[in-house]
């Protein structure tokens, strides 16, 4: 509270110098239209509902011209507009962050699903093909199919997403021409990067891809 009168005094001195300078410039520009000896234009202090704070209103001398008051009002209006923009930005930031996180998660899930689909397709194609003519008693080599899928995805992908390989279909047992062979892959770990921290139920999200082909 002790520093308030001193601040008000400095602010009043600033307005006095600013007002006097503006009055001198205005008087010089209007010297031909204003009779000599006439004082500065009359000015009434702002009303109590003016946007100027009370402590500043007490420090503004009556010699300040209308131009100075307009400059002060423009400054107050600009300050209010700047505060409105800051508030709007603060309200929009959370929605923007959620949008960015959603785009990242969607791209990551699509990538994992795409890799599983391509790997299952390669495994089913390998299981459905054989030497020609087909050897007697031939059946698809399940271990060879698994190794092919693992080599395509890589050890880091297999371990990081906990990929499980399933081989299904009568073709794996009989090896008959036209029999179906199915390679199904499942991944149930680290499917989401950040979204599961916001939605815990997504922590157990699993992806699956399978491809079925007929033995040639």
Measured CA to CA, the distance from residue 212 to residue 116 in angstroms comes to 14
Is 0.85 surpassed by the pTM of this model? no
Q: Report DSSP state, residue 201.
A: G
Q: What value does the mean pLDDT take over residues 97-106?
A: 88
Q: What is the mean pLDDT of the chain?
A: 75
Least confident range from 12-26, 104-118, 125-139: namely 12-26
Q: What value does the mean pLDDT take over residues 77-97?
A: 75
Residue partners of 185: CB distance under 8 A and separation at least 6: 116, 119, 120, 149, 163, 164, 165, 166, 208, 209, 210
pLDDT tens for residues 129-168? Answer: 887 777 778 888 899 999 999 999 999 999 999 999 999 9
Distance from chain centroid for Cα 214: 47
pLDDT at 175 over 70: yes
Residue predicted with more confidence, 124 or 8: 124
pLDDT at 76 over 70: no
pLDDT at 64 over 90: no
């Amino acid at each position: 509270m002790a520093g308030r009168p001193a601040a008000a005094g400095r602010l009043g001195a600033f307005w006095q110098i600013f007002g006097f300078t503006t009055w001198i410039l205005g008087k010089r520009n209007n010297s031909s239209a204003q009779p000599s000896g006439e004082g500065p234009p009359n000015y009434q202090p702002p009303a109590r509902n003016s946007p100027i704070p009370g402590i500043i209103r007490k420090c503004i001398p009556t010699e300040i011209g209308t131009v100075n008051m307009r400059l002060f009002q423009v400054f107050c209006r600009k300050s209010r507009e700047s505060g409105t923009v800051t508030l709007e930005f603060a309200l929009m930031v959370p929605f923007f962050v959620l949008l960015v996180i959603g785009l990242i998660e969607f791209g990551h899930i699509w990538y994992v699903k795409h890799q599983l689909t391509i790997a299952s397709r390669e495994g089913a194609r390998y299981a459905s093909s054989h030497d020609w003519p087909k050897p007697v008693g031939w059946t698809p080599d399940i271990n060879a199919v698994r190794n092919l899928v693992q080599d395509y995805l890589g050890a880091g992908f297999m371990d990081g997403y906990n990929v499980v390989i399933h081989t299904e279909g009568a073709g794996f047992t009989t090896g008959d021409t036209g029999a179906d062979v199915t390679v199904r892959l499942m991944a149930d770990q680290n499917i989401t990067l950040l979204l599961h921290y916001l939605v815990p139920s997504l922590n157990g999200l699993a992806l699956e891809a399978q491809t079925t082909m007929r033995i040639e």
